[in-house]
């Protein structure tokens, strides 16, 4: 074999080895990237499961605290990473009033006891009405906005008096613009006359797992 032919074969072999080495490097990088993604997905799944467990436990605590009340007047649900506690106006307020009745105060006391044990849970109190206009001349209540806000504020005040820190609670009035039932029946209107107490656990760790700045 001539020297020139040998050199050509040697150069070809070295080029092939370099190409194979580059291929191995790309394969290793791809494997490492896939492993990292799998680890991140597993972490996200664990975080989501932990978050769901936190929500379920909170809902179960609330259900246990309120089990002595008429279940037709309250309900709990988990939506969008929050626990919604819906209380009928029948449970909380005399007709047309913004002052909570004794049975309603008892229910709120039980709920506050749960929240005291769950210090990282934020609270939003939303007042909701049906679409029947407030009777003209009703003392201190101009319309359904007023009624929903005053009821939410009254509940907020009672929860604070029972020891819930005011920086954890946000009252809000929704009037009749977020109905639970869009029907026109008396039953539908009754469902819409409610207070929703929305419990929001701290999502900081969950967001970190997703790589989101909260």
Q: Please report the domains of the chain, with CATH numbers, ordered by start residue.
A: 48-207 (3.30.1330.60)
Q: Please give the Cα distance from 200 to 214 (Å, whole number).
A: 14
pLDDT at 206 over 80: no
Contact 118, 75 (CB under 8 A): no
User: Is-contact 171 155, C-beta < 8 A?
Assistant: yes
Confidence class of residue 21 from pLDDT cuts 50, 70 and 90? confident
Tokens of 150: 């005053």
Q: pLDDT per residue over 90-99, tens digit each?
A: 999 987 789 9
Q: Binning pLDDT at 50, 70 and 90, where does residue 142 land?
A: confident
What's CA 175's distance to the chain center, in Å?
A: 22
What pLDDT sits at residue 95?
78
Cβ atoms of 199 and 62 within 8 Å: the answer is yes
Q: In the prediction, which pLDDT does 83 show?
A: 97
Other residues' Cβ atoms within 10 Å of the Cβ of residue 8: 11
| 131 in Cβ contact with 183 (< 8 Å) | no
Instruction: Tell me phi and psi for residue 118, to 5 degrees.
Output: -125, 75
Arithmetic mean of pLDDT over the chain: 88
Going by pLDDT thresholds of 50, 70 and 90, the confidence category of residue 71 is confident
192 contacts 181 by C-beta, under 8 angstroms? yes
Other Cβ atoms closer than 10 A to 174: 19
Q: What is the pLDDT of residue 8?
A: 74
Alpha-carbon span 3 to 72, nearest angstrom = 97
pLDDT at 7 over 80: no
Of the chain, the percentage scoring pLDDT greater than 70 comes to 92
Is residue 156 helix, strand or coil? Answer: helix
Pairing of strands 169-173, 122-128: parallel
Where is mean pLDDT largest: 17-21, 32-36, 58-62? 58-62
């Amino acid at each position: 074999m001539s020297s020139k032919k040998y050199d050509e074969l040697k150069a070809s072999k070295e080029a092939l080895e370099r190409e194979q080495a580059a291929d191995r490097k790309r394969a290793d990088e791809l494997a490492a990237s896939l492993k990292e993604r799998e680890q991140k997905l597993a972490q996200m799944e664990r975080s989501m499961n932990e978050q769901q467990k936190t929500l379920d436990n909170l809902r179960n605590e609330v259900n246990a605290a309120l089990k002595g009340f008429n279940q037709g007047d309250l309900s709990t649900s988990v939506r969008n990473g929050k626990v919604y506690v819906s209380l009928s106006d029948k449970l909380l307020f005399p007709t047309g009033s913004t002052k909570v009745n004794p049975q309603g105060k008892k229910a709120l006391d039980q709920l506050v006891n749960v929240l005291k044990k769950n210090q990282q849970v934020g609270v939003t109190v939303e007042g909701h009405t049906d679409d029947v206009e407030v009777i003209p001349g009703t003392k201190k209540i101009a319309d359904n906005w007023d009624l929903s806000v005053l009821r939410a504020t009254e509940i907020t005040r009672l929860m604070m008096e029972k020891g819930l820190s005011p920086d954890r609670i946000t009252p809000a009035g929704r009037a009749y613009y977020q109905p639970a039932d869009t029907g026109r029946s008396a039953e539908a209107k009754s469902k819409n006359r409610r207070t929703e107490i929305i419990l929001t656990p701290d999502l900081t760790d969950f967001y970190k797992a997703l790589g989101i700045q909260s």
